[in-house]
């Protein structure tokens, strides 16, 4: 039995040696690398630039096998959506009382103020420091940029604008065409405060939120906007409002028009001319909404309602306004 076991071991070892030798021979006879010419595809259109090429056995990232491109210049990606809803410039029985189409090259400070700093989180534990530099007017758009950058004791910067003491109004239709930012912690708002806020403070001055969105990937965040009233009801803070959700996509995809129609009896909210909420303002407890108001546009970062950025939001983010129109 010992001799048989020894012979079997010798046979097994011999087979192993033969296998290894054959494997080595296969490796020694492998097909050698054949280098090809690859052409740069800087604009990612599948066509290569014959003026920029490399020799390699494998296709490098950003290169293709053909040289058929006549213009390989990378295309710039615009932050301005190419499409979206728009509203008419006129309405029956209404006149345009005030508008900003943002046709200049800078914010029109005849009508607008910058509110700066963090102001102790603006009462909402917000994380941004508001700066002038985050506002620009270009190609017919107001652009507010939220950045992840240190400023004072804050980690984010953005802008907040108002027409306080420069344009106030009572009643009318307000149309604001805008494209919203996206991502956890972003909080864009189009809203109004009572002209008498320096005298009576908030919430006695009243607040009309034409549009607010709290960004985030969760369902009901980047695709939902809110319209809300805030007021003082016999010494007690009160609020009421509604919301609406897009059938598909998010508010960052394209422009939408956020509107209210406000008169002595009610305030009605619209998204793209479709009514989604109405509040009766005739009760005596809502007398704040029979006074003059001014406009605000801001992009907050973080806060009690949206929560703080958690790494999923990419910065910078942009709040883009095409026009603001007030009809009476």
Which residues does the annotation mark as catalytic?
A: 207, 212
Tokens found for residue 204:
């006695």
For residue 272, report the phi and psi dihedrals to the nearest 5 degrees.
50, 45
Helix (H, G, I), strand (E, B) or coil at 87: coil
The candidate with the shortest Cα–Cα distance to 319, out of 178, 129, 215, 155, is 178
Q: How far apart are CA 228 and CA 125, in angstroms?
A: 20
Q: How far apart are CA 302 and CA 218, in angstroms?
A: 16
Tokens found for residue 161:
């604008």
First to last CA, the chain: 111
Q: How many residues would you count in the chain?
A: 328
Q: How far apart are CA 273 and CA 275, in angstroms?
A: 6
Tokens found for residue 201:
């403070």
Rg of the chain taking only CA atoms, in angstroms: 31
Q: How far apart are CA 41 and CA 65, in angstroms?
A: 10
Tokens found for residue 19:
């296998």
Specify whether the CB–CB gap between 233 and 245 falls below 8 A: no
Other Cβ atoms within 10 Å of 205 Cβ, number: 20
Q: How far apart are CA 98 and CA 168, in angstroms?
A: 10
Tokens found for residue 76:
């710039």
Specify whether the CB–CB gap between 85 and 272 falls below 8 A: yes
Tokens 């065409």 appear where? 177
286 CB-near residues (< 8 Å, 6+ apart) = 229, 231, 233, 279, 280
């Amino acid at each position: 039995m010992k001799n048989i076991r020894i012979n079997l071991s010798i046979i097994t070892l011999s087979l192993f040696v033969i296998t290894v030798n054959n494997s080595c021979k296969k490796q020694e006879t492998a097909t050698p690398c054949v280098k090809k010419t690859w052409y740069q595809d800087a604009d990612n259109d599948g066509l290569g630039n014959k003026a920029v090429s490399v020799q390699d056995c494998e296709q490098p990232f950003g290169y293709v096998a053909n040289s058929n491109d006549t213009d390989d210049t990378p295309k710039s990606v615009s932050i301005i959506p190419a499409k979206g809803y728009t509203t008419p410039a006129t309405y029956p029985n209404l006149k345009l009382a005030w508008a900003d189409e943002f046709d200049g090259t800078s914010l029109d400070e005849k009508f607008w103020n910058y509110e700066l700093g963090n102001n102790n989180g603006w009462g909402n534990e917000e994380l941004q420091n508001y700066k002038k530099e985050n506002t620009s007017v270009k190609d017919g758009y107001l652009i507010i940029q939220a950045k992840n950058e240190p400023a004072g004791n804050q980690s984010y910067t953005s802008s907040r604008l108002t027409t306080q003491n420069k344009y106030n109004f009572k009643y009318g239709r307000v149309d604001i065409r805008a494209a919203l930012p996206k991502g956890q912690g972003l909080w864009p708002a189009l809203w109004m405060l009572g002209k008498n806020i320096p005298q009576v403070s908030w919430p006695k001055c009243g607040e009309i939120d034409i549009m607010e969105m709290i960004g985030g990937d969760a369902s009901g965040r980047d695709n939902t906007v809110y319209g809300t009233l805030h007021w003082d009801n016999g010494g007690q803070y009160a609020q009421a409002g509604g919301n609406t959700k897009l059938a598909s996509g998010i508010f960052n995809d394209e422009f939408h028009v956020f509107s209210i129609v406000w008169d002595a009896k009610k305030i009605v909210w619209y998204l793209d001319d479709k009514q989604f909420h109405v509040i009766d303002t005739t009760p005596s407890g809502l007398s704040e909404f029979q006074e003059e108001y001014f406009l605000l546009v801001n992009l907050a970062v973080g806060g009690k309602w949206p929560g703080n950025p958690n790494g999923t939001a990419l910065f910078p983010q942009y709040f883009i306004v095409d026009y603001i129109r007030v009809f009476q």
